[in-house]
Amino acid sequence: MVHASLILLLIASACHLSYPFTILPATFTRISSIRSNKQLLRVGGFDYMPEEPPPPSATKDSDPARLLTPKLGGTNVYLVGMMGSGKTAVGALLAQRLGPYTFLDTDNIITSCLPEGTTIEEYFASEGEESFRSLESQVLNGVHGHVRCVVSTGGGIVKERVNWSKMQTGLVCFLDVDLGVISARVGGGEGRPLLQDGDVMGKLTELMESRRSMYEQADVTIKVDDGEEDVEETLLKVVEGLGKFIDENPPKHQQEPPEVGE
């Protein structure tokens, strides 16, 4: 049994700050106004990496991701989509390029909570999918209490309505990757509990059909149809999509007041 207190401790540790100030709690608004822009430590699978100066190509004046940062105002970004869609790779790079953001991966957090050496595949086999989804919800409940996070989620996290109530306090981005591309990425499905019946493409199709309507509730959808597209290209699509959504849906305090008589 995994205790909620352990999950919260791991999340708090992952959001460790490089300066001594308290993480502000997320608010139930689409765009939060967070004043501090002090740097966080980068977290990838709970391996702490010190802050490094961005390369010249990623300066505030030239990198679209850095220009997106003030628009986000500290709001969390949640990446959803099928297994193998690139959520972890894109999410880690997005957090790094945004600047004062931490990357979190719900599967990594869950793995850290399990007995040492236990994989998610083994947990699925012994405890079942329902128990795993409950763990996912507990992790998301802990994550959404923090701000300035890019969160890579498990492929099935959209199945639980309660999870949407957490993710929708931030911005949700669906990586809609062609199933042929995903099939090539996951290979024979090793380490993927839901792809163990041998027919990988058939199972991927079945899963997508059951989840697509839920994925499409995301604020932003990014199409990836080309298996040759690299993570940088997908990242730029995500940044553009998020920026466009914010421009079209500004926070209430930034909206123009209606003219008299309207």
pLDDT, tens digit (0-9, with 9 covering 90-100), for 49-90: 333 444 544 455 679 999 999 999 999 999 999 988 999 999
Greater confidence (78 vs 114) lies with: 78
Give the phi and the psi of residue 13 in degrees, each rounded to 5.
Answer: -65, -40
Domains of the chain: 4-248 (3.40.50.300)
What 8-state DSSP symbol labels residue 253? Answer: G
Give bridge partners of residue 78 from the DSSP assignment. Answer: 151, 172
Q: What are the backbone angles phi and psi of residue 48, rounded to the nearest 5°? A: -75, 130
Question: Would you tell me how many other CB atoms lie within 10 Å of the CB of residue 131?
Answer: 14
Name the band, by pLDDT with cuts 50, 70 and 90, for residue 46. Answer: very low
* Per-residue confidence (pLDDT) for residue 233, from 0 to 100: 94
Q: Which amino acid is at 160?
A: E
Residues 6+ apart with CB under 8 A from 34: 24, 73, 74, 147, 148
Amino acid at 65: A
pLDDT of residue 163: 94
* Nearest-angstrom CA–CA distance, 92 and 101: 10
The residue to which tokens 């049994």 are assigned = 1
From residue 10, alpha-carbon distances to 49, 99, 148, 178, 250 in Å are 16, 22, 16, 33, 33
At residue 27, the pLDDT reads 33
Q: What tens digit of pLDDT does each residue of 15-42 get? A: 553 322 233 333 323 333 323 333 222 2
**Mean pLDDT within 237-246:** 97
> What confidence score (pLDDT) does residue 234 get?
94
Q: Assign 145 a pLDDT band (cuts: 50, 70, 90).
A: confident
Are the C-beta atoms of 195 and 189 separated by less than 8 Å? yes
Both tokens assigned to 74: 């500290």
CB atoms within 10 A of CB 68: 20
Nearest Cα residue to 83 out of 184, 225, 223, 217: 184
Q: Is 131 left (phi over 0), alpha (psi -120 to 50) or beta?
A: alpha
Phi and psi at residue 35, in whole multiples of 5°?
-80, -35
- Between CA 224 and CA 59 the distance in angstroms is 26
What confidence category does residue 100 fall into, taking pLDDT thresholds of 50, 70 and 90?
confident
Q: Which residue has the tokens 């899963």?
A: 207
The pTM assigned to this predicted structure is 0.75
Question: Of 148, 43, 132, 64, whose CA–CA distance to 100 is shortest?
Answer: 148
